[in-house]
Chain A
Amino acid sequence: MSRTVQFAVGGAVIAAILIGIIYQGTQSTVFFHTPSEILAAPSDFKGKLIRIGALVLPASTHWNEDAVRLEFKITEDSRQTIPVIFEGVKPDMYREGQGVVIEGRMDGQGVFRANTLLVKHSEEYDVDQAKRIDKEQMYRSLMKAEQ
C-alpha cells in the first residue's frame, strides 16, 4: 500500500470518529435538564437516568438523619415544583434557594429519586460578615487543635 493510500485511510478513520463524536454530542448537549422540561413531557423522561439542574425551593427541606434521607422540592420559578428524595448524606454546601444538580430517575408517582446530589456554586463571592476572619479559630482548625 502506498503512503498516500495509508494517509487517506487513516484520515478517513479519524474523520469518521470525529463526525461520530460530534453527532453524539449534538444528540445530548445538555449536562442537565430543567424542571419545566421534565414537567412538559413527563413520559419522555420516566424511568430514564437523567440529571436535573434547579433551585431548592425554600422551606421544603426535610432531612431525616436516622434514615440518611434528604427530601426537598426543586423549582426554577417557585410555581412548578418537583419533589425529590435523595438517599444520602446532606452536603455541607446544601442551602435552600441555591442551585443543585441531581442525578437519578423519575418514579411513577412524579417523585424524582436522586442518587447523586451536587451543589452548584454561583460566580459571586462575598465576605463572611458573621465571623469576619476569626483567625484563632482558623488556625485551630488548620492545626486540628481542640476546639
Chain B
Amino acid sequence: MTKVLGWLSLAGFLCVGVLIFGFTPNDRLMGFSQKIMYLHLPSIWITYLSFFVVFYCSIAYLWKRRERFDRIANSAAEIGVLFCGLGILTGAIWGRPTWGTYWVWDARLTTTLLLFLIFVGYVVLRAFTDPGEKQARMAAVIGIVGFLDIPLIHLSVQWWRTLHQPSTMFKLGGEGRPQPAMPPEFLYPLLLSLLVMTVFYGFLLLYRLRIEERADMLAERLAER
C-alpha cells in the first residue's frame, strides 16, 4: 500500500509538472511567477490536513489511551511542520515579485508562523522528553490547542485587513455557493496538484508511521534482554 502510494505520487508529480509548465497559461497580472500557486496552495492544504490528523488523534488518545493514536499524531505533526515550512517558504518566494516583499507582519502570515512555531515546539517536546504515557499526554494537549490556530488562519483574511488576499477556493459566487475565482485552465491543474499532494501525504504518513512502530518494537525487544 505504501509503495503504491509512493509510485502514484511520483507519477502524479511528473504529470502536474508537465501540465503546469507545458500547457497551463500564465496569469494576466502576475505572469510566470503565479505558477508557484500550484505548490503553495497544496502545501498549506496538507498543513491543515496533517494538523487535523494530529488534533483528531490527540483527542482519541486522551480518550482511549491507545498507543497507536499517539504514534499517528507524532508522525502527522512532523510531516505537518515540513509542509507548513514549505508553505511559508513558497509564500515568501511568491510574495517578493508580487507584493514586493518576502514577509509582512499581517494577520494571515503571522498566524501561520504561529502555527509553525507551535508545532516546532511539539516536535521539540517529543525530542527532549522520555517516550511514554506522560510524553504522549503532554503532546496531545499541545496538538489540540495548536490546531485551534487553523480556523484563525483561515478567517484572518476576512476579519482583519491584511496584505494577503482573501480565499480564492472558497469565494462565494451567486446564491452563496462556493465558486473558485479562477478560470478552469487554472482550476483543474490546481485540483490535480491538490490530489497528488494528498496521495503523497498518505505515502509519507504511512512510511513515517512504520518507522515509529518499528522503533517501538525495537525498544521493547531491547528492554526484554
Contact = CB atoms under 8 A, between A and B. Distances in A.
Interface in B123-172: 160-163, 165-168, 171
A116 B165 CA distance: 19
B182 to A, nearest CB: 4
Contact of B168 (A95, A118, A123): A123
B216 interface: no
19 contacts: A29-B160, A31-B106, A31-B160, A31-B163, A32-B161, A120-B163, A123-B165, A123-B166, A123-B181, A124-B182, A125-B37, A125-B181, A125-B186, A126-B182, A126-B183, A127-B25, A127-B26, A127-B28, A128-B25
- Please report whether the interface of chain A is mostly helix, strand, loop or mixed according to DSSP: loop
Interface string B21-38: 011111111111010010
Interface in A121-147: 121-129, 131-133, 135, 138, 141
Given A31-B107, A120-B99, A123-B166, A129 B28 contact: yes
User: Which of under 10, 10 to 19, 20 to 34, or 35 or more describes the interface residues of A?
Assistant: 20 to 34
A121 B98 contact: yes
Nearest to A32: B161
Interface string A43-70: 0000000000100000000000000000
Interface in A79-112: 91-93, 95, 101
A119 B167 CA distance: 17
Contact of A121 (B29, B31, B106, B183): B29
Contact of A138 (B27, B32, B160): B32
A95 B29 contact: yes
Contacts of B67: none
Contacts of B183: 125-127
User: Which of under 10, 10 to 19, 20 to 34, or 35 or more describes the interface residues of B?
Assistant: 35 or more
Contacts of A74: none
Given A119-B98, A132-B25, A133-B25, A127 B186 contact: yes
Contacts, number: 88
Contacts of B98: 93, 119, 121
A138 to B, nearest CB: 7
Nearest to B183: A127
The 8 closest A-B pairs by CB, nearest first: A125-B182, A123-B165, A124-B181, A123-B168, A126-B28, A31-B106, A127-B25, A91-B100
Given A30-B160, A31-B106, A31-B162, A121 B25 contact: no
B13 to A, nearest CB: 19
B2 interface: no
Nearest to B167: A123
B97 interface: yes
B28 A128 contact: yes
B26 A119 contact: no
Contacts of B100: 91, 93, 117-119
Nearest to B34: A125
Given A126-B183, A138-B32, A141-B32, A121 B160 contact: no
B104 interface: yes
Contacts of B25: 127-128, 132-133
Contact of B29 (A32, A93, A129): A93
Contacts of A138: 26, 32
Interface string B88-105: 000000000111110011
